[in-house]
Amino acid sequence: MSRETPTRGRRPKRGRTRQALMDAALDLVAKKAPFSSLSLREVTKRAGVVPTAFYRHFPDMSALGLTLLDESFRTLRQMMREVRQQELPNERMIRGSMETFFNYVRNNRTHFLFVSKELYGGSATMRQAIRREIRLFVSELAMDMARFPFLVRVNAEDLQMMATLVVNSVVALTQEMLELDEDDEAGQHEMLIMAEKQVRLIYFGVAQWRSDTPPRT
Amino acid sequence: MSRETPTRGRRPKRGRTRQALMDAALDLVAKKAPFSSLSLREVTKRAGVVPTAFYRHFPDMSALGLTLLDESFRTLRQMMREVRQQELPNERMIRGSMETFFNYVRNNRTHFLFVSKELYGGSATMRQAIRREIRLFVSELAMDMARFPFLVRVNAEDLQMMATLVVNSVVALTQEMLELDEDDEAGQHEMLIMAEKQVRLIYFGVAQWRSDTPPRT
DNA sequence: CCCGTTTGTGTACAGTTGTGCACTTTATAC
DNA sequence: GTATAAAGTGCACAACTGTACACAAACGGG
């Protein structure tokens, strides 16, 4: 009855709460519903904090979401930039890039689950933010492809189309991989193999392509 | 004489309520949140019915969702089957199929918006149901492709991989098209053009492909 | 026409939600 | 040290949620 049960008072979470909230949200998204249907209260409960403490760090849930999104993409952008540093694409490099990327996804599972569910299921601003991020990858890939010797005669629009195809395909397989059980190594490996083959096949098609339409349309 | 309890007893919506509920849910999904975050009460309110009337037609919200899903796919399956009746794929036919499909999407916008948001954002059973449906399309496409003369030497696994690539790409562009404003004709036409080009490019790659690995892996 | 079955209504209730406010605790700067 | 700002707590409350229950209206077959 005394309120001084020693184990009762939570330990030094001072200052660590913000991250705890973000982790709690990610956890809940990973093993339950999409972020859009999480309540402020369950997030705080999971984080071991009283509901009103939330407001010390975020004005509302959607702010948490945006922060989560930023955290998800920041390191990814950097990783992609490093991958792009390498030599001109060839078959060996395709395999390497895919491995790097899929490994990264696996090591950041909860973040990608979050993003995957928000891509089309989230709020309008959230969806736009994610698609802007993806379009950025597409453009960068298009720039890389422009340096292909056999692509000099392909116009900018078609380059964008090709890059979109590559990125969309990888995104789709990534989402499918996230549906697999976390420790289904075999299944995840299959996804990797498939992604590599698909990209290789696309490059076969690219090599064959001619932009026979004049610059416009 | 009839009982004269004044405003008691509603208008002649008798029997039409079930469909009204489904339409209401679709409406709300189209212009607001994903289905998973809809409440039973707002659906019934939108349908112009008292909350408890819901249970006369569905045991709970997820049952409504499954029904909606069925409604969404039933006619689509039939349409796809008709498209498949046509002659062997060639470039002219690719364009035709894409036009047919995208037109169908446009004419059933709310249904596709629903499916799109549920694909990765919905409940586990919902996601599984949708992906099963998609895998069905993939398999049928793979069967069609198997009849290509120049694909006789491609093994089953690679055929599946190619069909997956085509379907994933079209799905991705469909989702992107659904993000556009309903009457953005130009934007939607761009998506169609892009889809057609992407599929054509994939077929270029397919024509080049050799399954040089033995049957297994 | 009457009577049983569906379908829709109204009321009720306990649980959960977001958030305002006053408070205590902790950290930091002087 | 002590003052001040930041971070966390507790309580309150109105709004909304799903659903149980009893009743009223509409329908359809005899």
B142-169 pLDDT, tens digit per residue, is: 999 998 888 988 999 999 999 999 999 9
pTM for this entry: 0.91
Tell me if A205 and B209 make a contact (CB, 8 A cut-off): no
Of the candidates B67, B210, B38, the one whose C-alpha atom is nearest the C-alpha of residue A121 is B38
Tell me if B172 and A168 make a contact (CB, 8 A cut-off): yes
Is the separation of the CB atoms in A51 and A41 below 8 Å? yes
Give the mean pLDDT of chain B: 90
Report chain B residues whose CB lies below 8 A from the CB of A198: 161, 164-165
Residue B155 vs residues A47, B75, B90, B143, B214: alpha-carbon distances, Å: 51, 32, 21, 12, 9
Of the candidates A149, A36, A168, the one whose C-alpha atom is nearest the C-alpha of residue A88 is A149
The stretch B3-13 carries a mean pLDDT of 38
Write out the two tokens for A26.
């990610």
Scan for tokens 């990973």, then name that residue: A30
Is the separation of the CB atoms in A42 and A66 below 8 Å? no
* Number of Cβ within a 10 Å radius of residue B169: 24
Residue B79 CA distance to nucleotide D19 C1' (Å): 40
| Residue A205, Cβ density class (10 Å: 0-12 exposed, 13-18 middle, ≥19 buried) | buried
Q: Where are the alpha helices (DSSP H) in chain A?
A: 17-31, 40-47, 61-85, 91-107, 109-121, 124-145, 156-179, 185-208
Q: Number of helices (H) and strands (E), helices first, in chain B?
A: 8, 0
Phi-psi region of A4 (alpha: psi -120 to 50; beta: other; left: phi over 0): alpha
d(CA B30, CA A122): 13
The stretch B78-89 carries a mean pLDDT of 82
| DSSP category for residue A182 | T
Query: With the CA atoms of B126, B127, B131 and B133 taken in that order, what torsion angle do they form, in degrees rounded to the nearest 10?
Result: 10
Res B17: pLDDT: 96
Per this entry, what is the length of chain A? 217
d(CA A207, CA A80): 24
Within 7 Å of a protein beta carbon, the nucleotides of strand D are 6-12, 16-22, 24-27
**pLDDT of B124 higher than 70:** yes
**pLDDT of B216 higher than 60:** no
Res A8: pLDDT: 32
Which residues of chain B from 159 to 198 reach within 8 Å of chain A, CB to CB? 161-162, 164-165, 168-169, 171-173, 175-176, 179, 194, 197-198
pLDDT for B182-192, tens place per residue?
Answer: 999 999 999 99
Closest nucleotide to B55's CA, by C1' atom?
D19
* Number of Cβ within a 10 Å radius of residue A10: 9
d(CA A134, CA A164): 9
**Where does the pLDDT of residue B13 fall: very low under 50, low under 70, confident under 90, or very high at 90 and above?**
low
- How much of chain B, in percent, has pLDDT values that exceed 70? 90
Residue A62 CA distance to nucleotide D15 C1' (Å): 20
Which contacts qualify for B189-194: CB closer than 8 Å, 24 or more apart? Answer: B191/B102, B192/B98, B192/B99, B192/B102, B194/A161, B194/A164
- Whether the beta carbon of B51 falls within 7 A of nucleic chain D: the reply is yes
Residue A114 CA distance to nucleotide D22 C1' (Å): 45
d(CA A36, CA B52): 26
**pLDDT of B93 higher than 90:** no
Res B196: pLDDT: 97
From first to last of its 217 residues, chain A has per-residue pLDDT tens of 333 333 333 344 677 999 999 999 999 999 989 999 999 999 999 999 999 999 999 999 999 999 999 999 999 999 999 988 876 667 788 999 999 999 999 999 999 999 999 999 999 999 999 999 999 999 999 999 998 888 988 999 999 999 999 999 999 999 999 999 999 999 999 999 999 999 999 999 999 998 875 554 4
